[in-house]
């Protein structure tokens, strides 16, 4: 209250600024607003989490009053999912003023708060009346009742969301978990994250700058970003090969050494693998994550057939879910040549996916061949099928067997994720990010898995920059811990 600040105004402002994580300049800006009168109570800020109003009681010219504040119980663990609300600013008003918003109104700034703004917002109420000279109301002219926003219940399992975040919080990466039978989204995680409670209560410029300038980019939502999947894509190549009868799971391919090139037309380009297995069949190729096997099988399938079959898995389509996700891609403008086709077979080339779409592509293996329609808002309606009859029953069984060996055989690439008493099936992946075969580049570590005997959850996880520190073992161990909880 400006007129009550008195001679101690500078000290009071300093104290309040410190308590609210603000600057004195920011307080002065609020007090200098055109609408402010000397006897007005001017809102300065909302108490930080954990602070009490007792601190302010003895400060001259400072008063407190209770206000409703949006609270995010999971904090950082669901920050990119829930998003946060903030005050309408001058930039927002350019588009929102025509919808009835005014400066400083609350509005969704990110995440579901932004996506579901119209449902969550509600409508203001108000009254127009006439007063006499003494300030007594003498006539009511008009009244509009306030309308509460809708209640929205999510399919997210907060325990799973928190466990995945807890595993990932010291890494940069993303994760998704779905029920492969219903399409319910169980978790969507992006790390590092920010605290939406801090931003909603009104972060100081210093706090905002610290988050925005953090090199780890905690404001970036990674679970909506497209990334190179690497070898977690191989079950999709396998399914396409099996469905088109191009892959014979019993056939043994004769592959010598750790490098392979199709012929002289490839020049110095070659495909590499880690384990020298010769001959190699389907189960071994999946278990050892053999790039050469999947490159050769992709070439047999051919680019036209591969592209048309990939569409059955939802590539080049936006996911039919309330939250905005970009469409996963096999290629930017078709598969141009055999080298790109070979690389596509093991999830390189121009293949890009989100972790949620990856989880959905694994769903038909345990959901009678169907991909469910994903959703994040709870509903009484029956689950829908997004893509029907993607994988036949016999081929589902072939994939289950091979993907079980990835984790449960002592020489499988995912053996670190083996859990006594459970039978996990899944796939590891290490995606290379580089401009040429010879160049050095960063690596993404991927892992995707489900419990074969209780397939009510598929978890996918991607961790950035894993080269030289464990590769796909990093996400594999983290996903294992989530399944153990």
Residues labelled as active-site residues: 231
Element (H, E) at 117: helix 117-121
Would you put residue 468 in left (φ > 0), alpha (ψ -120 to 50) or beta? left
Residue 416 and residue 49: Cα distance in Å, rounded?
40
How many residues are recorded in the chain? 485
Asked if 178 and 363 count as a contact pair (C-beta separation under 8 A), the reply is: yes
Residue 290 and residue 270: Cα distance in Å, rounded?
14
Picking from 454, 373, 480, the residue whose alpha carbon sits closest to that of residue 155 is 373
- Lookup result for tokens 């609020």: 30
Q: Residue 142: how many CA atoms within 13 Å on its side-chain side? A: 4
Residue 467 and residue 445: Cα distance in Å, rounded?
8
Beta strands in 365-484 (DSSP E): 371-372, 385-387, 424-433, 442-451, 458-463
Residue 369 and residue 240: Cα distance in Å, rounded?
13
Picking from 228, 282, 224, the residue whose alpha carbon sits closest to that of residue 252 is 282
Q: Report CA torsion sign: 366, 242, 353, 292.
A: positive
What does the buried/exposed string (b/e) look like for 463-485 if buried means 16 or more CB atoms within 10 Å of the residue's CB? bbebeeeebbbbbbebbbebbee
Tell me the pairing of strands 259-260 and 271-272.
antiparallel
């Amino acid at each position: 209250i400006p007129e009550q600040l008195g001679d101690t105004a500078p000290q009071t402002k300093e104290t309040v600024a410190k308590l609210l994580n603000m600057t004195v300049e920011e307080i002065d800006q609020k007090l200098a607003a055109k609408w402010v009168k000397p006897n007005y109570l001017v809102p300065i800020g909302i108490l930080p989490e954990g602070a009490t109003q007792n601190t302010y009681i003895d400060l001259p010219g400072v008063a407190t009053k209770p206000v409703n504040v949006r609270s995010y119980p999971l904090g950082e663990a669901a920050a990119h999912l829930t998003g946060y609300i903030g005050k309408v600013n001058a930039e927002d008003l350019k588009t929102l003023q025509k919808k009835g918003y005014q400066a400083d109104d609350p509005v969704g700034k990110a995440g579901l708060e932004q996506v579901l703004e119209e449902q969550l917002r509600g409508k203001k109420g108000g009254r127009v009346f006439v007063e006499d000279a003494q300030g007594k109301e003498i006539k009511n002219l008009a009244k509009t009742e306030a309308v509460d926003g809708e209640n929205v219940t999510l399919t997210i399992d907060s325990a799973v969301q928190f466990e995945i975040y807890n595993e990932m919080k010291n890494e940069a990466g993303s994760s998704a978990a779905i029920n492969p039978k219903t399409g319910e989204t169980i978790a969507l995680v992006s790390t590092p994250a920010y605290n939406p409670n801090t931003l909603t209560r009104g972060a100081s410029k210093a706090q905002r700058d610290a988050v925005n300038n953090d090199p780890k980019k905690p404001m970036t939502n990674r679970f909506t970003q497209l990334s190179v999947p690497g070898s977690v894509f191989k079950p999709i190549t396998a399914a396409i090969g099996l469905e088109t009868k191009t892959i014979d799971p019993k056939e043994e391919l004769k592959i010598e050494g750790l490098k392979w090139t199709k012929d002289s037309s490839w020049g110095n380009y070659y495909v590499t693998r880690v384990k020298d297995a010769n001959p190699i069949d389907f189960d071994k190729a999946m278990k050892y994550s053999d790039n050469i096997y999947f490159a050769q099988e992709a070439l047999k399938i051919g680019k036209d057939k591969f592209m048309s079959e990939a569409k059955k898995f939802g590539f080049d389509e936006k996911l039919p879910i309330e939250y905005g996700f970009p469409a996963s891609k096999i290629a930017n403008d078709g598969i141009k040549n055999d080298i790109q086709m070979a690389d596509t077979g093991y999830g390189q080339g121009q293949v890009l996916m989100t972790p949620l779409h990856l989880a959905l592509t694994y769903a038909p293996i345990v959901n009678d061949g169907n991909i469910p329609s994903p959703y994040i808002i709870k509903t009484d309606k029956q689950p829908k099928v997004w893509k029907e009859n993607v994988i036949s029953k016999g081929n589902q069984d072939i994939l289950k067997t091979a993907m079980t060996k990835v984790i449960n055989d002592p020489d499988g690439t995912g053996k670190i994720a083996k859990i006594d008493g459970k039978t996990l099936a899944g796939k590891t992946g290490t995606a290379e990010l580089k401009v040429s075969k010879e160049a050095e580049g960063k690596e993404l570590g991927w892992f995707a898995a489900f419990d074969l005997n209780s397939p009510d959850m598929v978890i996918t996880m991607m961790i950035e920059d894993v080269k030289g520190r464990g590769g796909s073992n990093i996400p594999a161990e983290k996903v294992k811990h989530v399944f153990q909880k």
